[in-house]
Amino acid sequence: MKHTALLILLAITIPSAGAAEWPQWRGPNFNGSTDETNLPSRWSKTENVAWSAQLPGAGAGTPVVSGDRVFISSTAPGEDVLKALCFDRTSGKLLWTRDVGKGTNKDYRSNYAAPSAATDGKLVVFFFGTGELVAFDLDGSKLWQRNIQKDFGPFAFLWTFSSSPLLYDGKLYMQILQRDVPVDGRGLADRENESYLLALDPQTGKLLWRHVRPSPAVRESREAFSTPIPFTHEGREELLVIGGDVITGHDPATGKELWRWGTWNPSKITHWRLVPSPVAGGGVILACAPKMDPIYAVKAGGNGPLTDDDLAWVSRGDRQISADVPTPAYYDGDFFILSDVRKTLARVEPKTGKIKWTMRTPGLAKYEASPLAADGKIYLINFVGEVTVVDATSGDVINTIQMAEPEKDPVRSSVIAAGGQLFIRTNTTLFCVGK
């Protein structure tokens, strides 16, 4: 009886591994949410902060957390290099740092450290916009390194390419959705630049398969900065991929396309690059069209080419919700859609698209980082490092905290949660907030 009581007590008091970790860009549930509780809603740069650590430069990649490690990618402009960093989760001590490649940026809008790392608790994978893809063990020993541009051709992107690696079910996935022709000298000139999905062995970096993904889009509208998202519906596993004016579902084992819906761009506008990743929940999959265009809710479970009859709803008319850059979160049975262009946050019912509440994002700065949903709250951060905490039930603002001074580089990294704490990345500092 004592043994049984102890097991029950442990089950109650010890959080699940999924709740205590944030292993990839959109978290343990792949949708911007976590089961964390008792997360802080009030703090400052010095109060209720467990630790803070200096970073060598700016980057939009979020921290990822596993066990007693916090991993983050960064630029180091003073050295003109890209770095992979590992911090002790308890103290914030820098455990190791590794130089991964030369250069920090090629344009003023972003830098090469925009992708987030990914970890399975045994190894950690970093990807940078230069094409460098590298895996380390948790102590910083390099397992392998390869460059996607050198292996499969130079990226045909107008702006700095970014897509985060995905570790799922024993495979490492990457997507490259790019123009079919060169742009400003970037890309292959002697043949078509194919868009493709890769699967690699995380332990060795060996290519398992490469699936070419065709697109009807034209010029910049072929470019996507999204990340593939795993999704299971009625027992069928798939990878959701969005960009090139279409959203597709793929077999994770082979890359084979299972279904496709499109397009939000029937007139073939040429400059509609795609940024938000897919997000699924409540039987639908969201595709966020660019600029101020609508959001499309595709019914899950489709096969082959889909039509508009396979849409649950579209956010036209009185449903004025959109997302040009942030990826929505799915939490507590609803979507939380942050619009950087409309300057709103909305709670939306998956099956109908009904807006339960909408609120104006505080301040004047833009919000491009994707929202975190956890513990009955939504956490947002804007370009000048103001973190806003919103009540998920009512849409009321609980608090706004200034975590950085306005700088040349905007703050783009999403707030993440793990082990009862928040991790906030500005351009100079990584904060661990909470006891």
The predicted structure's pLDDT at residue 320: 81
Residue 168 maps to a domain: yes
Is the distance from CB of 199 to CB of 205 less than 8 angstroms?
no
Q: Where does the pLDDT of residue 408 fall: very low under 50, low under 70, confident under 90, or very high at 90 and above?
A: confident
The predicted structure's pLDDT at residue 435: 84
Distance CA 246, CA 278 (A): 11
The predicted structure's pLDDT at residue 127: 98
Where do we find the tokens 């650590």? 53
C-alpha distances in Å from residue 402, one per residue of 186, 362, 386, 389:
39, 12, 4, 12
Residue 267 maps to a domain: yes
Q: Where does the pLDDT of residue 18 fall: very low under 50, low under 70, confident under 90, or very high at 90 and above?
A: very low
Over residues 152-171, the mean pLDDT reads 96
Burial annotation 184-213 (CB, 10 A radius, 16+ → b, else e): eebbeeeeebbbbbbbbebeebeeeebbeb
Residue 4 maps to a domain: no
Over residues 194-203, the mean pLDDT reads 98
Residue 11 maps to a domain: no
Where do we find the tokens 């990839």? 24
**Residue 328 structure tokens:** 């929505």
249-284 pLDDT, tens digit per residue, is 999 999 999 999 999 999 999 999 999 999 999 999
Domain region containing 384: 17-433
Please count the structural domains in the chain.
1
Distance CA 354, CA 344 (A): 15
Q: Where does the pLDDT of residue 108 fall: very low under 50, low under 70, confident under 90, or very high at 90 and above?
A: confident
Q: Where does the pLDDT of residue 291 fall: very low under 50, low under 70, confident under 90, or very high at 90 and above?
A: very high
320-376 pLDDT, tens digit per residue, is 899 999 999 999 999 999 999 999 999 999 999 999 999 999 999 999 999 999 999
Region of residue 361 (phi > 0: left; psi between -120 and 50: alpha; otherwise: beta)? beta
The neighbour count for residue 121, using CB atoms within 10 Å, is 13
We report the CATH number of the domain holding residue 426 as 2.130.10.10
Residue 1 maps to a domain: no
Q: Where does the pLDDT of residue 19 fall: very low under 50, low under 70, confident under 90, or very high at 90 and above?
A: low
The pairing of strands 386-391 and 377-381 is antiparallel
The predicted structure's pLDDT at residue 106: 82
Residue 9 maps to a domain: no
Angle made by CA atoms 53, 56, 62, in degrees to the nearest 5 = 70
Residue 2 maps to a domain: no
Percent of the chain with pLDDT over 90: 90
109-150 pLDDT, tens digit per residue, is 789 999 999 999 999 999 999 999 999 999 999 999 999 999
Length in residues, the chain: 435
Is the distance from CB of 160 to CB of 127 less than 8 angstroms?
no
Where do we find the tokens 């806003």? 388
145 by Cβ neighbours in 10 Å (0-12 / 13-18 / 19+) ranks as middle
Over residues 214-227, the mean pLDDT reads 97
Q: Where does the pLDDT of residue 318 fall: very low under 50, low under 70, confident under 90, or very high at 90 and above?
A: low
The predicted structure's pLDDT at residue 4: 38
The predicted structure's pLDDT at residue 107: 76
The predicted structure's pLDDT at residue 11: 35
Confidence check: pLDDT of 16 > 90: no
* Spacing of C-alpha 103 from chain mean position: 23
Residue 385 maps to a domain: yes
Confidence check: pLDDT of 293 > 90: yes
